[in-house]
A and B are shown apart, each in its own frame.
Chain A
Amino acid sequence: AQSVTQLDSQVPVFEEAPVELRCNYSSSVSVYLFWYVQYPNQGLQLLLKYLSGSTLVKGINGFEAEFNKSQTSFHLRKPSVHISDTAEYFCAVSEDAGKSTFGDGTTLTVKP
């Protein structure tokens, strides 16, 4: 069985500051890893994905994440956040069979 733990339920940060949203996962097989963002009253949108290869992956809106197999982590980072980055962020893991398992989300609040 696979599971995802997002270590911070809420992350407040000031505009233009760096941010890291932490995600740990567990799985008995090789996995694919994703970060999605959810704006109020909307569905989830893909930010970035790790399928294989380079452990540092870049996504949309200046976000990046690093896959660390030994620590089973996939933390999301952005060097300088904007007010518009305020949203709910979800880490997800999937296996070859296709089912995706999501964490409970991290609310990122960017303050002016």
Chain B
Amino acid sequence: DAGVTQSPTHLIKTRGQQVTLRCSPKSGHDTVSWYQQALGQGPQFIFQYYEEEERQRGNFPDRFSGHQFPNYSSELNVNALLLGDSALYLCASSGSGTGRSPLHFGNGTRLTVT
């Protein structure tokens, strides 16, 4: 039973560029959430997708956008990259969009912006 998979594992981009990160949820899960984890901090909620719609959003600018596909996989897009966007980006899936369901995390994508 495959867990949450994310690609790529590492990425180096230049300031101003755009990046797309990908996530496949755990089998049987239909809800995908994205988190940003800066060094030494806890994960910060970016947004959550359910039934191909963005259902909730954290305090992140519009440069951060996403998409969920019919097979429940998801993408996170970041435009006009800033140095401060350097972080570990975590995808988490759950069996429902409610807070009762624990999150299942992928190993993350390490984004470095130079």
Candidates B43, B48, B96, B101; contact of A102 at CB < 8 Å: B43
Say yes or no: is B74 at the interface (Cβ < 8 Å to chain A): no
How does the 8 Å CB contact mask read for A70-102 relative to B, with 1 for contact and 0 for none?
A: 000000000000000000001010111111111
Decide if the interface of chain B is mainly helix, strand, loop or mixed.
loop
How does the 8 Å CB contact mask read for A37-62 relative to B, with 1 for contact and 0 for none?
A: 00001111110010100000000000
Chain A interface size, as a band, is 20 to 34
Q: Are A100 and B103 also in contact (CB < 8 A) when A43-B90, A43-B108, A44-B90 are?
A: yes
Our count of residue pairs bridging A and B at CB distance below 8 angstroms stands at 76
Say yes or no: is B97 at the interface (Cβ < 8 Å to chain A): yes
In the complex the two chains form, is B43's CB within 8 Å of A90's CB? yes
In the complex the two chains form, is A99's CB within 8 Å of B99's CB? yes
Within 8 A of A (CB), among B14-30: none
Q: Are A43 and B106 also in contact (CB < 8 A) when A101-B45, A104-B40 are?
A: yes
Q: How many residues of B contact A (CB 8 A)?
A: 30
Residues of chain A contacted by B40 (CB below 8 angstroms): 104-105
How does the 8 Å CB contact mask read for B36-78 relative to A, with 1 for contact and 0 for none?
A: 0000111111001000000110100000000000000000000
Say yes or no: is A25 at the interface (Cβ < 8 Å to chain B): no
Say yes or no: is B8 at the interface (Cβ < 8 Å to chain A): no
A94 to B58, CA, bound (A): 13
Interchain nearest-CB distance for B56 vs A (Å): 5
List residues of B whose CB falls within 8 A of some A CB.
4, 31, 33, 35, 40-45, 48, 55-56, 58, 90, 92, 94, 96-108
Q: Ordered nearest first, which 9 A-B pairs have the shortest CB separation? A: A94-B99, A43-B105, A102-B42, A98-B97, A44-B105, A46-B102, A104-B42, A43-B107, A102-B43
